[in-house]
Structure 1
Amino acid sequence: MTATTAVGTESGLADRILGGWLGRIAGNMLGKPVEQGEVWTRARIDRYLRRADALPLTDYLPEPPSESEARDLRPEWRACVRGRVRGSCRDDDVDYAVLGLHLLETHGFGFSTEQVGDLWLLRLPYLQTFTAERVAYRNLANGLRPPLTATYDNPYQEWIGALIRADVHGWTSPGAPRRAASLARRDAVLSHTGNGVYGAMWAAALISAAFTAPTVRHALEEALGVIPAGSRLARTVRRVASLHGAGLAWEETLTTLEEETAGLGWIHTVPNAAVLTAGLLYGDGDFTRTIALTVRGGLDTDSNGATAGSVAGVMCGAPAIPARWTDPLRDTVRSAVFGFDGVRVSELAERTLRLARAES
């Protein structure tokens, strides 16, 4: 199956890839002000929205209703709330998508894990990396090679960092989830192990499947096929799908999963995958509802919002994303990746399309 026939037409593929980029950036911007899971719990996010008369959530977060709330938001909030968005904020959730695109353009689909590391050192500032990526970066600078870069003195091996790097492998492998997962794995093992790697494989496969799956549930089922069925990640995703299928409300499903994943921390891959899966299933293909529910679910809000937006944007295509999410972005990406700050979203999407076509 070619990239074009996977989505029907060449223009359809272009719209979906652009939708993925726009969705990722918009979802990231939506979640960024409240990205601190131990402070901004699900209950507190909804209290904030209620006080601002912003429920249901249908736009970027409103300005804080009080000074005390403003103090607890991320310092970047002034450029991320509704009415103040003027292009995207710089964020690692977008930086890694940009860097992944550059990786494939530079080394092709046969890239090695070592080449991923080399590109980090060349293009990515150390202080714009976090948790497992910062450890891997330090290990690279100290002369270690994969897989030691992921395992040496790294307590973050199953955190969410590898998952947020996976989108480009899905966008460039439309309708080919196993291929997307294989590419994502080769990237992920630079910094992660276990469920951290499975998270990247699952996310890449999910985005790839979103190009051709008739529903988000079908895409989730396809994505589960690329990771070990007995892994905690797979069991957690299936659990969310089961509760959704049984008719539980979104709030009840998340409360159940919070109890079942307690103790893993707010940046661990597994509980975040639960929030993301719930947002996708209860969002039911609607872009706004999907990213709103995902961010309201708490934990790593900007990362989850970004991935949910990527999946939903691919499924619906750029023209179907409401303009209130895309117009404020001004077709502009701010990035810490050397040589890419100020690049156009449309240009990134066109370059991604060329890669997807080349591999079709």
Structure 2
Amino acid sequence: MNAHTHPLYELTVQALESDLKQMLECGHDEQSLRAELEAARARQSLDALAALQDEWWNRPSPPSFPYDEPDEWDAIAAQLPDPDSHARLEHGDDALADRLLAAWRGRCSGCQLGKPIEGTTWPEKIRQVLEIVGSWPLYDYMNPVPAGLTPAELPDCDFFQRGMEWRNRECRGNFNRVAPDDDIHYTLTSLSTLEQFGPAFTTEQAMDTIARVTPLASLWAAGRNMFRTRVFGMHAPHTALFGNPCRQSLGGQIRCDAFGWGAPANPALAARMAYTDARGSQVRNGIYSGMFFAALMADVLAHGDLRRALDTATAYVPPRSRFAEMIRLVRGWCDTHSGWEDVNAEIINRWPGESKQFNHSIPNAAIVITSLLKGGGKFTETLGISVMCGLDTDCNGATAGSIMGCALGTKGVPHHWYEPFNDTIGTSLLGMHTLTITDVARRTLEVARKNARTGETK
């Protein structure tokens, strides 16, 4: 069998093409990488391709790259704060249970709010859609498209031209449970990982939990790549590298909630767990995104102060990374601009390529931070901003809703957001097709009790 007929030859070529594109974001020169790839292909050898791939995976950014973005835990941990420097949990089980229930309700509400509009991406298109259906600005779930209108009569965007029928089913008045969605599936699989293995779980255990219960058709982007590489027998970090078209996407963000909820007032543990999980599908800023939001949720559960929690979470991001730079820029823009729309314009102008990617960790995390700072501490306003800003709308709505639930408790989540669910979560997960929000919140509390930092702050 020659190289061209070996099944791994073309697969490796495709993976190297993905590697090349991902390496551009780390400061490498496209022309030089292309020349290296063509030289390896000219040898018509699978060994030559594999050798190049291995060398690329281990090649650091060039000296001209202005950021320091480690993937290894020891390098990240060396820059983290004292774990005992944060607020401890002062309230008892009843208050914690209330906040965790609110976090689940918030995550489900934000996901459901962003779900029908996902794929429309750009804020001006989203506004156009919402104005047509009478839902701008968002203070409730999106209204369905009025009866009688056909796609040909409507603007050219994803909502109207691709899957309007199923999108309408997820609009206001048309659903009676939390719809199956990867942003909810991942929270459940992360919770299952903690229940089975505890906080010292391995990356492989987290990946295997997902692979055992999640249909491939319910996975997307880096998560789907992680599934296929893990099933093929790979381990981290290769599951995050081989053939991954979006290494720095928000996979860590959308899987991290259970790690934050499961470590109240313990942001160091939350960040460590989020790191362990995220490295299965992400590198660099994709990892930091999960660490940041997990630490934020863990900290805000202790005191409810969003700005204080943002300060704490920022300390769990490598300070010379692009993610840390993004946090500084967004907080500055939020202080400078009176409205969220101006901040959102800054985000898209600053990261145009990442925004075009749709699911990149940096602009999506920037949108969530914007919603937290411009929502006035109110659940509805924060949720609406997180979706109206665009990009990965269901992911960002879910994260923003989760954080606000942690901060406000059930009294801060208006009834119209969660009552349509009838306390029911629908999923595509094996053995978990129908669950209740109250029961998964109870299970989360059982995990959280074991990992909470309680008592007086040192």
Q: CA offsets, 1:186-212, max 9 Å, x none?
A: 011111111110111011111112212
SS at match of 1:357: helix
Q: Counterparts in 2 of 1:278-357, with a 5 A limit?
A: 278-357=370-449
Correspondences of 1:217-232 after superposition (within 5 Å): 217-232=307-322
Deviation at 1:67, TM superposition (A): 2.9
- Residues 1:58 and 2:148 are matched in the alignment: no
CA distance in 2, matches of 1:75, 1:163: 29
Change (3 A) 1:72 1:123: closer
AA aligned to 2:365 is A
| Identical counterparts, % of pairs | 33
Choose which of 286, 289, 297 in structure 2 pairs with 1:199: 289
Correspondence for 2:129: 48
Aligned residue in 1 for 2:329 = 239
Q: Cα deviation per residue 1:271-298 (whole Å; 9 max; x = unaligned)?
A: 1011111111101210000010110000
Which structure 2 residues correspond to residues 74-85 of structure 1 after superposition, within 5 A? Answer: 76-85=166-175
**1:137 deviation in Å?**
1.1
Aligned residues: 356
Q: Secondary structure at the match of 1:343?
A: strand
* 1:28-53, Cα deviation, whole Å (9 max, x unpaired): 000001111xx342112112222333
Matches within 5 A, 1:1-360: 6-36=89-119, 39-65=120-146, 66-68=149-151, 69=154, 70-72=160-162, 76-264=166-354, 265-360=357-452
Distance 1:211 1:76 in 2: 36
Kept in 1: contact 2:337–2:343 (CA 8 A): no
Cα separation, partners in 2 of 1:51 and 1:359, compared to 1, 3 Å: same
Classify the secondary structure of the residue corresponding to 1:97: helix
- The CA deviation at 1:257 is 1.3
User: C-alpha offsets along residues 143-186 of structure 1, whole Å, 9 cap, x if unaligned?
Assistant: 11111111112121101112100000000111111210100000
Could you say which structure has the larger radius of gyration? 2
- Distance in 1 separating the partners of 2:444 and 2:164: 31
Aligned AA (1:158): Q
Counterparts of 1:167 and 1:75, CA distance in 2: 30
Q: Which letter does structure 1 place at the counterpart of 2:109?
A: A
How far apart, in 1, do the equivalents of 2:346 and 2:451 lie? 42
- Distance in 1 (alpha carbons) for counterparts of 2:218 and 2:411: 32
Q: Tell me if the contact between 1:166 and 1:200 (Cα under 8 Å) persists in the aligned partners.
A: yes
- Distance in 2, Cα, partners of 1:42 & 1:269: 17
Amino acid across the alignment from 1:51: I
Q: Verify the 8 A CA contact 1:280 1:290 in the aligned structure 2.
A: yes
Q: CA deviation at 1:55?
A: 2.9
Give the gaps of 5 or more residues in structure 2. 1-83, 155-159, 453-458
SS in structure 1 of the partner of residue 349 of structure 2: helix
Instruction: After superposition, give the CA deviation of every residue in 1:100-158 in whole Å (9 maximum; x if it has no partner).
Output: 11111111111111111221221111221111111111111111111111111212110
CA distance in 1, matches of 2:239, 2:253: 17
Q: Which moved more, 1:99-108 or 1:139-148?
A: 139-148
* TM-score normalised by length of structure 1: 0.95
Matched residues in 1 for 2:446 and 2:295: separation?
A: 20
Q: Is the 8 A contact 1:15 1:318 kept in 2?
A: yes
Distance 2:339 2:195 in 1: 44
Match of 2:246, SS state, is: coil
Q: Partners in 1 of 2:203 and 2:117 — Cα distance?
A: 33
Q: Which has the higher contact order (CA 8 A, sep 6+)?
A: 1
Contact 1:7 1:13 survives alignment (8 Å): no
* Residues 125 and 337 in structure 1, CA contact (< 8 A), matched pair in contact too: yes
Question: Relative to structure 1, is the Cα distance of residues 74 and 355 closer, same or farther in structure 2, using a 3 angstrom cutoff?
Answer: farther
Q: How much has 1:75 moved relative to structure 2? A: 5.2
